[in-house]
Chain A
């Protein structure tokens, strides 16, 4: 079983739609939760991070964590064509050693 599971999509929605991206994880030692965005032929870049259950907003983006269900989400409001990219959830494991693991990534296309 993968430590982090994410539906790879692809996901295609019209401009202006609300997008919901989700991940599940298996290890309770996960402490920090992040979303990275990756444009074609580029490396991933940090979009948002959080370390507690609940919601965190940044402009049109909302990250949501439910530690009891081991479930994390990213919501994009008023989606734009420039949001078209691959979105990867990322989680740190802190069990002595520390490491950063990613979900498979969801490829998102926003159609004008």
Chain B
């Protein structure tokens, strides 16, 4: 397996534009997590899914953020409209179940988003 795959790796967009980040989890993993990382706030959990169902979206900062997981192999995080304060690195991670004993969460390479 190639691991968790995120696209694009870098995204530069203008304020007000819609941004869509994509994630392909590791095949067979039950959980998918979206995180946002900034210098000021560290790694924040935005939302996570279990078997394609959103479980907890309390970390989503505003209604401008939405996430979907239409099937076990694909998830999107959308920001509409984007704002400069959304600039961050967005990570997707997947795991067999919440890291337990010898399982772990595997992270993608991240999408570096810059909103100008």
Q: Mark A residues whose CB is within 8 Å of B.
A: 6, 8, 32, 34, 41-46, 49, 51, 88, 90, 92, 94, 97-105
Contact = CB atoms under 8 A, between A and B. Distances in A.
Contacts of A101: 45
A45 B93 CA distance: 10
Name, among A8, A51, A100, the residue most crowded by chain B CB atoms within 10 Å (CB to CB).
A100
26 contacts: A6-B42, A32-B100, A42-B109, A43-B4, A43-B107, A43-B108, A44-B91, A44-B107, A46-B105, A49-B99, A49-B101, A51-B101, A88-B42, A90-B99, A92-B100, A94-B98, A97-B50, A99-B45, A100-B33, A100-B45, A100-B98, A100-B99, A100-B105, A102-B42, A104-B41, A105-B43
Contacts of B35: 102
B interface, how many residues as a size bin? 20 to 34
B18 interface: no
